[in-house]
Amino acid sequence: MTYRIFGILAFLIFAPLLGGLLSGLDRKISARMQGRIGPSILQPFYDVRKLLSKQFIIVNPAQIFLVISFLATVIVTGGMFFGGSDILLCFFLLSTGATFLIFAACITNSPYSNLGASRELLQMMCYEPAVLLACIGFYLATGSFNVSDIIQADLPAIIKTPGFFVAFVFILTIKLRKSPFDLSTSHHPHQELVKGITTDMGAKTLALYEIAEWYEHVFLMGFVGLFFVCKNPWSYVVAVVAILATYFLEILIDNTSARVKWLTMFKLAWGVTLLIAGVNLIILMVLA
């Protein structure tokens, strides 16, 4: 029990810090890949601090309440995860949170924002099967959906679930809205602020959204790490290395690929999920 409370508290306090650092790292590495020096690694914190010091600037009053609901849902999801709960329920709750975000984007009037919302929804449809299958992979490998049981396994889940892992990393590109699957954040040329779903979010609302993203990224990275964690304390080191490697891979893909059309994304995501995770599923079920 104390361990659980510790996990939840650690997530609540440190997730924004880690998330912000990840985001800063992302910008730094991307800049270096593009031959720029890039901003300081702490730049996301400076940005959010400035945004938070502003008042709420909105287009539709309901935006604030929807973005706060999104933030709260993401925090609870992550809290549940690091508190050792059921991963399937975590993702169910996270998708409810994602609908809050979509609503926040589509109740404004901007066509950019609306289109971003539609595309975000499409992306959700693309990544949902792989996410659920990954949870099932854990269940098949360890006999439980609970994080607290999964980390007590003798061997890390990845040994039995490499296919689920590959599929999950594949759709992580969609989930993190990275190129080539960054449809919902399609930038307006040369603009940092006009980004699909966040087009009509400004000042404090945008800050809340950024913080929610930090929490979400830490949760997702925690899920990546979960594949590598087991009873052995050293496995946590492996997990951290794996998380960093995965994140680096995402940045690399982001910077080396061009955006694809929706149907390509849809076919790729569903196809990869079915082929790689599906085959892994069949193998595990037939062997079991």
Partner 1 sequence: MLHGLKAFIKYYLNIYNKEGEKIMWMIPFLICFPFVVSVLMYTIRKNNVRNTIAYISAGIIMAVTALFVVQWIFAGSPVLELYYHTHTIDLIMLGAVWLLMFVVTYLSFKYRKRLVSLLSIIPTLMITYFELMGPEMAEIAHIRVDRLSVLMCIIIGLIGSLIVIYSVGYMHGYHHLHTEFEDRRYYFFMLLFIFLGSMFGFVLSESLLWIDLFWEMTSICSFLLIGYTRTEEAINNSFRALWMNLLGGAGLVVAIIYAGYQTGSLSLQSLVSLGVAGEKAAIIPVALIAVAALTKAAQMPFSTWLMGAMVAPTPSSALLHSATMVKAGIYVLFRLAPAMSGTQTGLLISFIGGFTFLAASIMAIAQTDGKKVLAFSTISNLGLMVACAGVGTPETIWAGIFLMMFHAISKSLLFQNVGATENSLHSRDIEDMHGLIYRLPRLGAFMFIGIAGMFLAPFGMLISKWSALKASVDTSNIMLVIFIVYGSATTMFYWTKWMSKIISYTDTEIKVRDITKKDELLSLFIHAGLMIALCLLFPVLSVVYVEPLLTEMFGVATAVLPKEVLFLLIAIVCFIFIAPIMAFRYATTAKVRQKLSYMNGINVGNNKEFIDSMGENKHLFMTNWYFAHTFGQRKLMQPCEWITIAFMIVMLCMIIGGAL
Site for partner 1, rule CB under 8 A? 55-62, 64-66, 68-69, 72-73, 76, 80, 85-86, 88-89, 92-93, 95-96, 99-100, 102-103, 106-115, 117-118, 121-122, 124-126, 128-129, 132-133, 136, 139-140, 145-146, 188, 194, 199-200, 202, 263, 270, 274, 278, 281-282, 285-286, 288
Coil, strand, or helix at residue 42?
coil
Tell me how far, at minimum, the Cβ of 26 lies from partner 1, in Å: 25
Give burial (CB, 10 Å; 0-12/13-18/19+) of 152. middle
Tell me how far, at minimum, the Cβ of 2 lies from partner 1, in Å: 17
Q: Decide whether 189 or 233 has the Cβ nearer to partner 1.
A: 189
Using CA atoms, how far apart are residues 226 and 217, in angstroms rounded to an integer?
A: 14
Q: Decide whether 23 or 63 has the Cβ nearer to partner 1.
A: 63
CA-derived radius of gyration, the chain: 19
Other C-beta atoms closer than 10 Å to the C-beta of 96 total: 13
Q: Decide whether 15 or 281 has the Cβ nearer to partner 1.
A: 281
Which has the closest alpha carbon to 223: 284, 119, 151, 288? 151
Which has the closest alpha carbon to 227: 172, 287, 283? 172
CB 66 within 8 A of CB 204: no
Which has the closest alpha carbon to 141: 277, 278, 284? 284
Which has the closest alpha carbon to 115: 203, 181, 195? 195
Give the bridge partners for 29, in sequence order.
none
Q: Decide whether 126 or 158 has the Cβ nearer to partner 1.
A: 126
Using CA atoms, how far apart are residues 146 and 80, in angstroms rounded to an integer?
A: 10
Q: Decide whether 91 or 214 has the Cβ nearer to partner 1.
A: 91
Tell me how far, at minimum, the Cβ of 198 lies from partner 1, in Å: 10
Tell me how far, at minimum, the Cβ of 99 lies from partner 1, in Å: 5
Give helix 203-226 / helix 43-53 axis angle, nearest 10°: 140
Tell me how far, at minimum, the Cβ of 202 lies from partner 1, in Å: 7
Tell me how far, at minimum, the Cβ of 180 lies from partner 1, in Å: 19
Using CA atoms, how far apart are residues 60 and 274, in angstroms rounded to an integer?
A: 40
Tell me how far, at minimum, the Cβ of 161 lies from partner 1, in Å: 13
Q: Decide whether 172 or 194 has the Cβ nearer to partner 1.
A: 194
Q: Decide whether 89 or 252 has the Cβ nearer to partner 1.
A: 89
